[in-house]
Amino acid sequence: MSLKRPLLALALSLACVAPAIAAPLPAPKGGDGGVRPQDDFYAFVNGGWEKKTQIPGDKTSYGAFSLLAEQSRKDVRALLEQASKHPADADARLIGDYYASLMDLKAIDRAGLRPLQGELARITSLNDLGDVAEELGEIELAGSSGPVAAYVMPDEKQPLVNAVYWSQSGLGMPDRDYYLKPGKKAEALRKAYEGYLTQLNALAGVPDAAAEARATVQFETALAKVQWSRTEERDPVKTYNPVARADWGRTYPGFPWARFAAGVGMPDKLGAVVGQPSYFKAFTALAARTPLSTWKAYLRSRLLTNFAGDLGPAWRKAHFEFADKQLYGLTDMPPAWRTAVSDTSEMLDEGVGKVYVKQHFTPAAKAEVLSIVHNLIGVYRQHLQTLAWMTPETRKQALDKLAQLRVKVGYPDHWRGYPGLVIKRGDAIGNELRANVFEFQRDMAEAGGPVDRSRWSMSPQTVNAYYNPLGNEIVFPAAILKPPFFDPRRDEAYNYGAIGAVIGHEMSHAYDDEGRHYDGTGKLRDWWQPADAKAFNARAARLVAQYDTYEPIPGEHVNGQLTLGENIADLTGVTMALQAYHRSLDGKPESTVDGYTGDQRFFIGFAEVWRSKTRPAFAHLLLVSDPHSPDLDRVDGVVTNVDGFYDAFGLKPGDKLYKKPADRVHVW
């Protein structure tokens, strides 16, 4: 994935062409023997597993990613249980106490709404729009977010200096589509959301609970109408709009921005980078005409929905029935330990990570992964040097960016710790509030100052990876460097198809439709010659058109423009990883294992990591909001364009995955 906060070609002529396949190829373990790889490669590799696998009731999806993530959670649970009983040091005691407070459901139930009374009283006491503006800043510190989200990250035009960013936010449902989409299904979900807010208001003893819920939904719908789509938000040039503090009132008049800045604790005289100018202009007008009573109803709903899972059995049930069941499609409530592990791992990510890597990551694994990374860098370099459609001026810049690429594997070199953070057993909500304030204030204190490029945006125990364009870096946490993504017991062909394609994916984000706008230092600037930009956009448009045709849910298509960056990275990552595998052979002939050639094992390894099943409700949410395509399309949508796949499996005209050479999309 490409990481930028609210903050993963043409094949080189190195492959050996495999002979056409005369006899049907047996499906790998977990595959469907009744499907030909030339017709549906995803099903050939994963279809048997899909047929016999049921998604557990407490999960939204199930597959390679979720199974490894579940193993990571179990590993973290074991170390948290240990830390909660016999802490070896202050760091272990901190994470152990936090986890223990979340597992103490009796204390949570006894406390009920009491830990939030101060926050609720502050909302009740608001007198005017200035008070509202400051409160919108205060809830940022508490871990919620109103119509304006504030956060700190490197300035995109000065990537070594931290800036404050303001972005659209504040919806209670996952995306503006949930408020605006017509149809009975969408209307029923909006009605259910209003009912959920009514329940929370009633549990909190709010008078006119239904009326306040209705006012909140109407206000959020007004926000949704003026928000940018997720596709529009992917444009890094249009979303970079710095506004000096002195110009806030002139550029976005009618809102007390100074009070908001005071609420979030912005350093004096510092301006902000605004993400969506038209939204901010519409928001200021909406804010001015919104009655104070509606503001209070809305702010209460943001607070209550944020903490509903930690307020007692009635609150947990209401949260499950709407958020988990209707939005995500779960049938069973997740066990308390899983929620506690996830929350602790999120709120005290480095504290947990520091203990995790001591027990679950080895220097040998890091060294082997780094060798794959450096091999891939060599392939990318050779490819850029010979890319036919790129002019010398742009090629020089592209190679310079590759030369400056930074690689992070496993865990951070430095742990920041949590000096001064107070964690108390028996005070789950108080702990979350204090941890949120601690982290937010620490970030805000760095605004205007130098960027610490040793920082990570994911914890070591996270099963994922990312490319950060502002640091021009690829990052691979320890938890993803395990089977099926990386398995030292399996051969190079498989590992290059699995973790190699993931590494290639993240490297490719440096040159996707977003990443290409940043140079080797991480600066947002146009380093492309017009002819090269035109050639790139033409190739990318063909990929958009391809993915627009996919219909994973009847009547609902993949958004090829929203998913373009990830689709480019998938395609380029596989193409480059295959060449890197050939390069790793160093002239040695590829071996046949279990009846499969090396190239066939490469593609099987690639397809296996995207093995998954997803609940319909969650699949709909992903189609609306996720920049990644569905897992099936991440396999078949890619291999149909990769020349090496045709060679490995002997594709010919008439096969369902076959495309004429001229129709195959090669962005890089």
The model's pLDDT over 54-79, given as tens digits with 9 standing for 90+, comes to 999 999 999 999 999 999 999 999 99
Predicted confidence band at 488 (pLDDT cuts at 50, 70, 90)? confident
pLDDT, residue 6, reads 41
Q: What's the pLDDT score for residue 534?
A: 97
C-alpha distances (whole Å) from 282 to each of 149, 223, 227, 234, 631 are 16, 9, 9, 20, 37
Give the pLDDT of residue 13.
30
pLDDT confidence of 89, banded at 50, 70, 90? confident
Residue 87 has pLDDT above 80, yes or no: no
Average pLDDT along the chain:
94
- Find the mean pLDDT for residues 157-174: 97
Taking residues 202-230, report their average pLDDT: 97
DSSP 7-42: ---PPPTTPPPPPPP-SPPPPPTTS-TTS-TTT-HH
Task: Write the Ramachandran bin of 143: left for phi over 0, alpha for psi from -120 to 50, otherwise beta.
Answer: left
Predicted confidence band of residue 111 (pLDDT cuts 50, 70, 90): very high
> What is this structure's pTM?
0.92
Instruction: Report percent pLDDT > 90 for the chain.
Output: 93
Give the sign of the dihedral formed by CA 561, CA 565, CA 567, CA 572.
positive
Output 95 or 15, whichever has higher pLDDT.
95
Tens of pLDDT, residue by residue over 170-183, are 999 999 999 999 99
Model confidence pLDDT, tens digit, residues 500-559: 999 999 999 999 999 999 999 999 999 999 999 999 999 999 999 999 999 999 999 999
Q: What confidence score (pLDDT) does residue 23 get?
A: 62
Residue 15 clears pLDDT 50, i.e. is over it: no
The mean pLDDT value for 190-209 works out to 97
Asked whether the CA dihedral 645, 649, 654, 656 is positive or negative, the reply is: negative
The DSSP string of 95-138 is HHHHHHHHH-HHHHHHHTTGGGHHHHHHHHT--SHHHHHHHHHH
pLDDT at 21 over 60: no
586 dihedral zone (left: phi>0; alpha: psi -120 to 50; beta) = left
Note whether 442 and 451 are within 8 A (CB): no
pLDDT-derived band at 644, boundaries 50, 70, 90: very high
Q: What are phi and psi of 554, to 5 degrees?
A: -50, 125
Asked whether residue 7 carries a pLDDT value surpassing 90, the answer given is no
1: confidence class by pLDDT, cuts 50, 70, 90: low
pLDDT range class, residue 17, cuts 50, 70, 90: very low
Does the pLDDT value for residue 12 go beyond 50? no
- pLDDT tens sequence across 295-308: 999 999 999 999 99
Q: At what angle do helices 598-608 and 631-639 cross, to 10 degrees?
A: 150
Q: What is the per-residue pLDDT across 362-406, written as a single tens digit (0 to 9) for each? A: 888 899 999 999 999 999 999 999 999 999 999 999 999 999 999
What mean pLDDT do residues 406-410 have?
97
> In this structure, how many other beta carbons lie within 10 angstroms of the beta carbon of residue 315?
22
**Predicted pLDDT at 19:** 39
- Please give the C-alpha separations between residue 139 and each of 114, 253, 542, in angstroms, as whole numbers: 17, 22, 43
Q: What is the pLDDT of residue 5?
A: 42
